[in-house]
Structure 1
């Protein structure tokens, strides 16, 4: 019996491949369902964050020095400015009394370490006769009869005008000092608490019949505003993206089947990406706010190519399972290569010196791979268990063709017929773009992402208009550690010149440094006589510095104007702080160059050996320094991406000619968009620098799909001209549909409140439009056999 049993079993038919794959698809769906539940749980906990210090250039000496400088003194942005403007101007008793009440209320907010209030500021004045030091109020707000005298004294001192009082006398500013380096939660709390105090205070003044215009600005409020806008825009982009995807899928496939299946794959791709971000401790910031949109549209490209090919095989008469296998066999390699090149394009952003750009590239590349994995697991599993609502045809290939075929066929004929005109126009546009791109300027503004009508931008504009601005400006003086360099002959006078030139050359206001502290102290120690507002010399300077050191040790002054707040002899550092308008990195760089050249020339001519060196530092300066790396980082990333695409095509075709041809349809759209930027004076900055990498990484997909199909037909022994036409007809529909979806998806970003996100949406959409035209008009002509 055993041999018979053995023979019986040996002749049993093998398991049906279709049935085996159907069983496997069930397990795949169960596994993906479990992972989806886990991903949904993790993604629900993802947070939003905006830390502008993350944009400091990494690994640069300027960043390392600033961190040391900040440790020696303090941060330059841990404050909240509160601007008040009354109907009767500043010198109104009721207005000043209300200001005093507001300052007292703000001082009780958790996290506030002090409030610089002009109604409470006092100055130590030395009686020249008795030699006693007493505290004199800067402004005797409760004694209107002294307003004229006090205002005249205030306006003689540039330390107060433009900092505490506006030049026209209509506004004043309170500086609310906060605990340094507050976390996001701390900033959220202090911003909410100060807003609550301001709202209650304004209501109280209105109840008394006084209208006060109130403004506030600072790091805490900026962070809260950015995060709230990001939260709103993520919901907006996801919602609009879904609506657009559903619309495009309906017109492309015209069935619920063609909508639900691709949409499920794309939604799970985005969910998986957000879960991966949360799992690795990454929140959504101003760079990654566009990531869900990118994952949606990039993932859709693979799904559309696969489904389009699958439906074409069904129309050709193949049963579902063989049609599915053939679709993945023919499109699979191209889809893998496009996902690989897209991910490589984003990974080239790791070469950037800016942390958020690196993270954007890393997590977007991860999202591309997640979308690819789902396209090759979830998509075939679902297709195995659903019936495509399509009429099968068993006739010849052309009789079962897609409705797009006649239109694409006519397009192909026109392209070949007018090939000289098309190539000539391409050459002209390329030359024009090369000329226009020379007008691109690398520049950025501190508030460049905020539109002109943005509420936060309006708040900052108030302080730029009525005061010295809110952009912090830090100047470091470096000298020999452990030496009292400021006491050396002529040194403090030289520092006084530096502070004066800082206002003249850079246009800075609210300048405060060692010389201004010494001048003010000398005047106050001499009875507040205007003639004593100068840097003393000889023994008088030594006595002044001795008093400043003693006073600094005895007092704990919240004003930040003490000697140790300006000079650290033990570290060989001195600090000059100021405020400037947000003029743009280029304007400030030009002014800084003139200023530093003037200082260096003066020090060289005045001293045998310059006693100190001058260096611009601070948070705003570090962000400006990113401009130095933007162009080089962008070019390096694109060169890496170009090289990888050329290498992949070279391996596929083993032809140098094909390598070069593959680059043309991907380089031309980038040149065209660069020319567009130059023509419209769109600056190259952090947000726009990534546009070229995004556009190249996505646009190369269509090129690879086209070339991969062309290669398959050539390997089947087809004639080049036949293979080219067949490739055009087979891939044209998918290329056009995916390009429409991509452009529509990125176009939704143009609704953003952030100008950087708006430019990403506009410029990437245009680049993809250029790319589809080049892929379907120029690329076929480059592949066209000469004898054709």
Structure 2
């Protein structure tokens, strides 16, 4: 009954499509126009991906920090490491460059040599004031030399902020308005104003200027993502169309396929706009992904149409059979692929959830487009001529199928031994996989801005802020001398870590206050004693009155919370965890938990914690994908044993890929985590096609296993080979990316799908032949709930009188 209902359903679908061609084309056009109008709502991400759930305690801590101290990633730094800077002409030009930036509304203030202020003591009344470091508008050669000596020798407070402790590098810190730092206005300023100014300065004065800082990195990184979307789409269309044409040797078949996937891409962008999702490094790969996944649909539909034309030459009958016989199987394979992506919807990460929603919706959409567009366009065209059908009889394809048949027939033991060796080797490799949560690792390493990042890591020990918040649990507790001494001890502890820069906090300012009290003598750059505190701190209380906001940069308005800022190098999750394991026991010893509360936060740290979150959820996500697909297989085949047999050839490629990652040193990170669910969802498609045909052959051949296996292999092997090659080269397109994560994603998915093809064409048939007594019987292979590949039935087909072309 279920088989009849299935056939009748698809027969009805075929009739509906072929009898309402114009209406369907109008509807597709209307949907495409509507979704194209949604493109205006697409937004590009202007901040790092937040992989943690919004209500995660680490996220909440970060939000509390922002509420107290404001945006931490709003500084762009420009540096010059050249003694030629300290000539009157260049020195003045460098200062004027910093002054010109203050005139932009996006810039809140700058800290540069030209506007640098030093702390001085004044009497009557006793007070500290910030006075200009450079007094002359155009200092001469001797004055520039003196300023250089004073900067590097007399102002330890500005070490790491204005100059490097490693060399004579001088930097300017540009603080952006916190309101625009995570908006498109930041991009406009960086790309259209800052970069041209810096390039003009470099050209005019011959000085190499290094630029970095989180706003700058974010801007150029997001611009790279935008640039690569077009590159990926173009490359995916080119590669898949060339492969498609190579297989079919038909221009019109290739053009029809390209039209289908291009509309699919337009829909993908439209869905992003309709849902108001940001385009991130993940969602940016969805449009080319739709091309790669959509082309195999076109292959199945067009290949079946041409086979039917070759068989009987009746176009109306061929078009109906395309829909009734391929529609069901293609729907199931697209559903399993969508299921692999849909598992990300169940994670708590907004980034992955949005990726899963858009990807799964568009995979189903590209199936619908293929089902509608291909038969309709062919219905308006002439019947394919003999030259369009030549590819169906290619000798080399027949040779490939014969090779597979020989391997399965005569070398099953070798297939099992090789599979076992791969399994054992993969397990060994899996134990060597590392986890990486580096915020910068996946960025384009050949880009100029990435090389600048490495420069700042060498000179200033990093550009990614790591914030430490100290809660003294009482108002004005920060300025107590015992608290300041504890903070100084913590700063010395952090400075010992090679991967972290010496921190900046209220301790540095109090030290500077003592130095200023003793007339700027640098040997007094230290915390005051108990006796000194009584007459130095009253001087410091008026610092904020000068408008420099020095105190509020480090301490909140209540005096209860202190902020300590360090900078991290580009380190991974494991290295940061080791640093934390080393620091936390010492921190708790310095700051007893009953009197103080200490928190570490910052964007880079959140990204690393988010990577750990994803790794913990990887097993859950993949297990869910396997479970969903097993349910689909159970629904189709109604056999537990068949589920096990079908999963083995699809799990082995995943293990092989994981083992490769271990041996090749490719870490588990947000980009590579996606590989397993994506590859599993796609590779199981071949299994469905093969097992559906196998069961059909069993029934037709009176349950003779060998004959059925070889017949299924010959019937499905060509299509599986075609689609696997398209998928392999399609995903390989991502390897042209400048983003390390996208390269790894493309390479790993391609390799996994290649392994999966061989596994489904060799290991699966070998298992069926070896376990024929256990599974090849009517009790195990009961009548399926749905018939994936209908029998050759012509009931209720469109007659020539009803042919839509007649």
Q: TM-score, normalised by structure 1?
A: 0.89
For residue 183 of structure 2, what is the aligned residue in structure 1? 184
Asked whether the 8 Å contact 2:309–2:384 carries over to 1, the reply is no
Q: In the TM superposition, what are the counterparts of 1:349-364 in structure 2 within 5 Å?
A: 349-364=344-359
State the shift of 1:57 in Å.
Answer: 4.6
Task: Pick the aligned partner of 1:723 from 705, 708, 714.
Answer: 708
Instruction: Work out the CA distance in 1 between the residues paired with 2:73 and 2:100.
Output: 22
What are the superposed Cα offsets for residues 317-361 of structure 1, whole Å, 9 maximum, x if unpaired?
363333333343333322112111111110111234433222222
Instruction: Work out the CA distance in 1 between the residues paired with 2:580 and 2:175.
Output: 28
SS at match of 1:477: strand
Give the CA RMSD over aligned residues: 2.8
What are the superposed Cα offsets for residues 225-267 of structure 1, whole Å, 9 maximum, x if unpaired?
2233223222222222122222122122222232122222222
- 1:705/1:610 Cα in 2 relative to 1: closer, same or farther (>3 Å)? same
Which of 216-225 and 127-136 deviates more? 127-136
For residue 279 of structure 2, what is the aligned residue in structure 1? 284
For residue 725 of structure 2, what is the aligned residue in structure 1? 740
Asked whether the 8 Å contact 1:155–1:161 carries over to 2, the reply is no
State the shift of 1:637 in Å.
Answer: 0.9
SS at match of 2:558: coil
Task: Pick the aligned partner of 1:557 from 531, 548, 553.
Answer: 548
Is 2:570 the partner of 1:577? no
For residue 420 of structure 2, what is the aligned residue in structure 1? 427
- 1:147/1:508 Cα in 2 relative to 1: closer, same or farther (>3 Å)? farther
- 1:217/1:689 Cα in 2 relative to 1: closer, same or farther (>3 Å)? same
Instruction: Work out the CA distance in 2 between the residues paired with 1:735 and 1:18.
Output: 24
For residue 799 of structure 2, what is the aligned residue in structure 1? none
Asked whether the 8 Å contact 1:444–1:683 carries over to 2, the reply is no
Asked whether the 8 Å contact 1:257–1:389 carries over to 2, the reply is no
Asked whether the 8 Å contact 1:442–1:683 carries over to 2, the reply is yes
Asked whether the 8 Å contact 2:35–2:266 carries over to 1, the reply is yes
Task: Pick the aligned partner of 1:313 from 308, 315, 319.
Answer: 308
What are the superposed Cα offsets for residues 460-513 of structure 1, whole Å, 9 maximum, x if unpaired?
122222323212121111231x52223446222111111111111364335211
Instruction: Work out the CA distance in 2 between the residues paired with 1:756 and 1:338.
Output: 27
- 1:82/1:617 Cα in 2 relative to 1: closer, same or farther (>3 Å)? same
SS at match of 2:118: strand
Q: In the TM superposition, what are the counterparts of 1:602-617 in structure 2 within 5 Å?
A: 602-604=590-592, 610-617=594-601
Task: Pick the aligned partner of 1:783 from 741, 744, 768.
Answer: 768
State the shift of 1:715 in Å.
Answer: 4.5
Asked whether the 8 Å contact 2:167–2:459 carries over to 1, the reply is no
What are the superposed Cα offsets for residues 135-173 of structure 1, whole Å, 9 maximum, x if unpaired?
454456736358458625643654323331133553210
Which of 403-412 and 173-182 deviates more? 403-412
- 1:727/1:261 Cα in 2 relative to 1: closer, same or farther (>3 Å)? same
Is 2:470 the partner of 1:511? no
Instruction: Work out the CA distance in 1 between the residues paired with 2:735 and 2:15.
Output: 48
Instruction: Work out the CA distance in 2 between the residues paired with 1:544 and 1:322.
Output: 96
For residue 195 of structure 1, what is the aligned residue in structure 2? 195
For residue 656 of structure 2, what is the aligned residue in structure 1? 672
Aligned residues: 752
Asked whether the 8 Å contact 1:255–1:389 carries over to 2, the reply is no
For residue 568 of structure 1, what is the aligned residue in structure 2? 556
State the shift of 1:517 in Å.
Answer: 1.8
Instruction: Work out the CA distance in 2 between the residues paired with 1:129 and 1:44.
Output: 62
Which of 752-761 and 582-591 deviates more? 582-591
For residue 792 of structure 2, what is the aligned residue in structure 1? none
SS at match of 1:125: strand
What are the superposed Cα offsets for residues 586-633 of structure 1, whole Å, 9 maximum, x if unpaired?
2222122212221212345xxxx7531322111111111112212222
What are the superposed Cα offsets for residues 385-440 of structure 1, whole Å, 9 maximum, x if unpaired?
334415599xxxxxx97764464144213322100011111011111001111111
Task: Pick the aligned partner of 2:404 from 402, 405, 411.
Answer: 411
For residue 485 of structure 1, what is the aligned residue in structure 2? 477
For residue 262 of structure 1, what is the aligned residue in structure 2? 257
Instruction: Work out the CA distance in 2 between the residues paired with 1:18 and 1:86.
Output: 74
Q: Please, which runs of 5 or more residues in structure 2 have no aligned partner?
A: 1-11, 774-806
State the shift of 1:773 in Å.
Answer: 0.5
Q: TM-score, normalised by structure 2?
A: 0.87
For residue 5 of structure 2, what is the aligned residue in structure 1? none
State the shift of 1:535 in Å.
Answer: 2.3
Instruction: Work out the CA distance in 2 between the residues paired with 1:435 and 1:52.
Output: 34
Instruction: Work out the CA distance in 2 between the residues paired with 1:692 and 1:517.
Output: 51
For residue 11 of structure 1, what is the aligned residue in structure 2? none
Asked whether the 8 Å contact 1:126–1:525 carries over to 2, the reply is yes
- 1:735/1:462 Cα in 2 relative to 1: closer, same or farther (>3 Å)? same
Task: Pick the aligned partner of 1:463 from 456, 459, 466.
Answer: 456
Which of 383-392 and 343-352 deviates more? 383-392
State the shift of 1:107 in Å.
Answer: 1.2
What are the superposed Cα offsets for residues 95-148 of structure 1, whole Å, 9 maximum, x if unpaired?
322222112111112211111012322223225899564545445673635845
Which of 710-719 and 447-456 deviates more? 710-719
Instruction: Work out the CA distance in 2 between the residues paired with 1:437 and 1:538.
Output: 58
For residue 8 of structure 1, what is the aligned residue in structure 2? none
SS at match of 1:123: strand
SS at match of 1:376: helix
